[in-house]
Amino acid sequence: MTPVEALQKALAAEHAAVHIYGLLAARSSQSEQPALFAALDRAYAEHRSARDRLTVLVTAKDTDPVAAQPDYDVPGPVTTAGEIESAARTLESRITRTYGELVANTAGSDRRWAISALDASALREVGFGVAPSDFPGLS
Partner 1 sequence: MVDSSNPGATSAVDGTAAGSVLSRRTVLAAGTVVIGGLVSGCSADDTRSEERTNPRRKPALAPDVAVATAALAEITAVRAAVTGTLNRFPAARSALAEVVAMHRTHEATLADAVPDRAEPSGSAAPAPYVVARGRDKALRSLAIREQQLHGTLDGLALRAQSGDFARLLAAMGAAVHQRLAAWPT
Measure the CA–CA gap between 38 and 123, rounded to whole angstroms.
Answer: 15
Q: Stretches 34-42, 56-64, 77-85, 123-131: which one binds partner 1 (CB under 8 A)? A: 123-131
Check the CA dihedral 20-138-135-98 and report its sign: negative
Q: How far apart are the first and last CA of the chain?
A: 18
Question: Which one-letter amino acid corresponds to residue 104?
Answer: A
Q: Stretches 28-36, 37-45, 57-65, 127-135: which one binds partner 1 (CB under 8 A)? A: 127-135
Check the CA dihedral 118-34-17-47 and report its sign: negative
Residues in 5-44 that interact with partner 1 by CB under 8 A: 9, 12-17, 20
Which member of 35, 62, 70, 79 binds partner 1 (CB under 8 A)?
70
Contact set with partner 1 (CB under 8 A): 9, 12-17, 20, 69-76, 90-91, 94-98, 100-101, 103-107, 111-112, 114-116, 118-119, 122-123, 125-127, 132-139
